[in-house]
Amino acid sequence: MTRLIPIITVKLANHSTIKFRFQSCMDFPSFCDVQSPQDTYYRTGVKFQVAQDAFHVVVRGLVERELDLEYSDFISGKLGPLLDVTPIVPSFTGIATPVSSLLEIIQPLAESTHAVFHASDDFQAVLPKADLQNAYLLFQQEDKPLKKGFPVRLLVPDGHSECLNVKSVVKIEFVQTDPGQKAEFGFRNTVSPEEL
Ligand SMILES: Nc1nc2c(c(=O)[nH]1)N[C@H]1C(S)=C(S)[C@@H](COP(=O)(O)O)O[C@H]1N2
Ligand SMILES: [Mo]
């Protein structure tokens, strides 16, 4: 059996960081003991994902116009054409809208370089702005909101990896970072001290 030993990095207000290394809690991850470099043990709860019934996706960060999106905004076509996703991404079914149509509404600021797609489970993908031209938001299957990936799922068809298809996107954030940074994905690995 593979044992996962996650490490959580906490950035402190004075910009120093503390790394917490999980000891052996992943067999049944309800509670974990965490050891700090000072050999102090902390007990921390693992966040459980609460089933989400409200459809809410927010657009934040370096944009002309922040936006709060509901299901009706997607099905009305306000965000752009309603596209059958299968011809675009053959392994998926449902209705999607291009991210590029969202860009016209929110107008990313010139200094923004990337968009971060935050999922409700702390998974995230960071895409360079150029890659957004070939990215879609899947929001409907069989005339209903998604069962898997609710509220919306990012699809990057020619993405270098299926892993970029972030499920349960709840926030799209425009940021300025190293312009050369390529698309990447993963679980967010920093938590603020307040979140511990
Ligand atoms: N929210 C969220 N999205 C995610 C992931 C995840 O753990 N959480 N895993 C990614 C990875 S690594 C892959 S390979 C695909 C798997 O998609 P599937 O569940 O449809 O097979 O989802 C991606 N999107
Ligand atoms: Mo993956």
Of all ligands present, the nearest one to the C-alpha of 151 is 1
Domain boundaries, the chain: 7-46, 57-186
Asked whether the beta carbons of 88 and 157 are under 8 A apart, the reply is yes
**Residue with CA at minimum distance from ligand 1 atom 4:** 166
The Cα–Cα gap between 35 and 156 comes to 38
pLDDT digits (tens, 9 = 90+) for 57-108: 999 999 999 999 999 999 998 888 999 999 999 999 999 999 999 999 999 9
- 49, burial (CB in 10 Å: exposed 0-12, middle 13-18, buried 19+): exposed
The Cα–Cα gap between 73 and 105 comes to 12
**What residue has token string 């934040």?**
60
How far does the centroid of ligand 2 lie from the alpha carbon of residue 146, in Å? 20
Does the pTM exceed 0.85?
no
- CATH number belonging to the domain at 57-186, selected among 3.40.50.720, 1.20.1300.10, 3.90.420.10, 3.40.50.300: 3.90.420.10
Pocket mutation for ligand 1, best pick of 166, 168, 184 (most atoms within 8 Å of C-beta): 166
Q: Lowest-pLDDT range, 29-38, 101-110, 132-141? A: 29-38
Percent above pLDDT 90 for the chain: 62
Pocket mutation for ligand 1, best pick of 146, 161, 167, 168 (most atoms within 8 Å of C-beta): 167
